[in-house]
């Protein structure tokens, strides 16, 4: 028996028609945002697609839309809730669409680290910076402590700003984005960076290591991008002469160092759009995006950097049945899977997000 509100079967041949009809019925009341890592079946219904930065800007730019349907992951929907008006409702079609990297920094652990820095008397010199890929709690912590949020497209600008405010940065939660930006874009040495491991007493660092460090990196990483290796780069260069290696800055340092180009998902798309016909590209980022680009550019040879790496399983949780379900629930007058951030956290997180949006 069919219950109203049930998730439709993936085999339902009417899913596209149902999504189209529900979206049309909602009209301007709904604004659908789609991250570049979403499946094609979902992306076709997005009003705007983008990287994390563009989607945050876009969420803030549509105060008239009653519902922001966020096809992405939980931390993005939280940021959208923080940046939208109190009357707007942000919906994540599947609540299981989290992010393993964001889960690697929990507020209690970060506060413990900060207490350690306070005991050492160095918090006055430290500016906390969190990657967008973190919970609202962590963004709130950063806002309370006069820091900034960054994304993969503005990490250098966020670090430039931070080093004008203090002499050290505490970078959460992606060690690779922090290290890659500091060393490859800002000229720091690898020795200027230390790795704070929340699972070790004192972060696994001595007092002197913390006092001397310029970048204190949190031990977090992306479980998808962390799987590309230097070996993948060497292998593709041998196999495909003249190949251009293009990777996301969430990849390991040695991979980014060995690549030809590095940038956010939006940068990757622009680079491939602008590439010469006949050129070859090995791309180190999530598979949905690489496949979409390969299909869009049959005149260019666009391949995945490593065949052993797969989709982001949490991004992939949002599929057409979840999208149809969420849209039809809205048409029926119910608000499914609303993402809300408590007002105090939202206030402080907004300070750090606004600081990012105001970066030059």
Which residues form the interface with ligand SF4 (CB under 6 A)? 73, 99-101, 133, 222-224, 286, 312, 314-315
- Does 151 help bind ligand 13P (rule: CB under 6 A)? yes
Q: Report the residue number, 37 or 188, with the smaller CB distance to ligand SF4.
A: 37
Phi, psi of 325 (to 5 degrees): -55, -50
Q: Report the residue number, 168 or 175, with the smaller CB distance to ligand 13P.
A: 175
Q: Which of 75, 112, 86, 71 is nearest to 202 (CA)?
A: 112
Interface stretch with ligand 13P, choices 50-58, 163-171, 185-193, 298-306 (CB under 6 A): 50-58
User: According to CB under 6 A, which one of 51, 78, 137, 319 is a site residue for ligand 13P?
Assistant: 51
User: According to CB under 6 A, which one of 38, 49, 52, 175 is a site residue for ligand 13P?
Assistant: 52
User: According to CB under 6 A, which one of 135, 152, 229, 316 is a site residue for ligand 13P?
Assistant: 152
Residue 223 binding: pick among ligand 13P, ligand SF4, none (C-beta 5-8 Å cut-off by kind): ligand SF4
Residue 135 binding: pick among ligand SF4, ligand 13P, none (C-beta 5-8 Å cut-off by kind): none
53-82 positions binding ligand 13P, by CB under 6 A: 53
Smallest distance from ligand SF4 to CB 226, Å: 8
Smallest distance from ligand SF4 to CB 20, Å: 27
Distance CA 252, CA 188 (A): 16
Smallest distance from ligand 13P to CB 167, Å: 27
Q: Report the residue number, 83 or 99, with the smaller CB distance to ligand 13P.
A: 99
Q: Report the residue number, 59 or 330, with the smaller CB distance to ligand SF4.
A: 59
What CA–CA distances, in Å, run from 298 to 245, 278, 280, 286, 291?
A: 18, 9, 11, 19, 11
Residue entry with tokens 């874009």: 185
Distance CA 123, CA 117 (A): 6
- Does 265 help bind ligand 13P (rule: CB under 6 A)? yes
Q: Give the binding-site size for ligand 13P (rule: CB under 6 A).
A: 12
Residue 288 binding: pick among ligand SF4, ligand 13P, none (C-beta 5-8 Å cut-off by kind): none
Residue 136 binding: pick among ligand 13P, ligand SF4, none (C-beta 5-8 Å cut-off by kind): none
Residue 28's Cβ-count burial label (10 Å; 0-12, 13-18, 19+) is: exposed
Residue 100 binding: pick among ligand 13P, ligand SF4, none (C-beta 5-8 Å cut-off by kind): ligand SF4
What x/- string results for residues 123 through 142 when contact with ligand 13P is judged by CB under 6 A? Answer: ----------x---------
Residue 51 binding: pick among ligand 13P, ligand SF4, none (C-beta 5-8 Å cut-off by kind): ligand 13P
Smallest distance from ligand SF4 to CB 41, Å: 18
Q: Report the residue number, 99 or 113, with the smaller CB distance to ligand 13P.
A: 99
β-pair type (48-50, 67-71): unpaired
List residues binding ligand 13P (CB under 6 A): 36, 51-53, 99, 133, 151-152, 222, 250, 264-265
């Amino acid at each position: 028996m069919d219950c109203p509100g049930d998730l439709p079967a993936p085999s339902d041949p009417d899913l596209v028609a149902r999504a189209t009809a529900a979206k049309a019925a909602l009209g301007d009341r709904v604004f659908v945002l789609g991250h570049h890592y979403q499946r094609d079946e979902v992306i076709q219904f997005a009003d705007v697609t983008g990287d994390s930065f563009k989607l945050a800007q876009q969420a803030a730019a549509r105060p008239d839309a009653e519902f922001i349907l966020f096809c992405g992951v939980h931390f993005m929907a939280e940021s959208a809730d923080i940046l939208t008006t109190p009357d707007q409702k942000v919906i994540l079609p599947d609540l299981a669409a989290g992010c393993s990297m964001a889960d690697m920094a929990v507020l209690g652990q970060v506060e413990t680290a900060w207490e350690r820095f306070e005991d050492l008397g160095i918090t006055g010199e430290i500016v906390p910076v969190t990657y967008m890929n973190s919970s609202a709690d962590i963004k709130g912590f950063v806002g309370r402590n006069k820091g900034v949020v960054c994304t993969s497209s503005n990490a250098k600008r966020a670090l430039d700003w931070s080093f004008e405010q203090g002499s050290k940065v505490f970078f959460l939660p992606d060690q690779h984005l922090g290290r890659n930006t500091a060393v490859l874009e800002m000229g720091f040495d690898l020795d200027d960076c230390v790795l704070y491991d929340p699972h070790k007493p004192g972060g696994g660092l001595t007092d002197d290591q913390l006092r001397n460090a310029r970048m204190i990196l949190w031990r977090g990483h992306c479980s998808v991008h962390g799987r590309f290796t230097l070996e993948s780069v060497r292998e593709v260069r041998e196999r495909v002469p003249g190949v251009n290696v293009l990777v996301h800055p969430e990849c390991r340092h040695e991979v980014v160092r060995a690549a030809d180009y590095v940038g956010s998902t939006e940068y990757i798309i622009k680079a491939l759009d602008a590439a010469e016909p006949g050129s070859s590209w090995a791309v180190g980022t999530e598979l949905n995006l690489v496949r979409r680009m390969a299909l869009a550019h049959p005149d260019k040879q666009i391949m995945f950097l490593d065949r052993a790496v797969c989709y982001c399983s949490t991004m992939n949780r949002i599929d057409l049945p979840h999208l149809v379900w969420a849209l039809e629930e809205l048409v029926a007058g119910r608000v499914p899977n609303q993402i809300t951030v408590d007002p105090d956290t939202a206030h402080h997180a907004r300070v750090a997000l606004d600081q990012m949006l105001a970066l030059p």
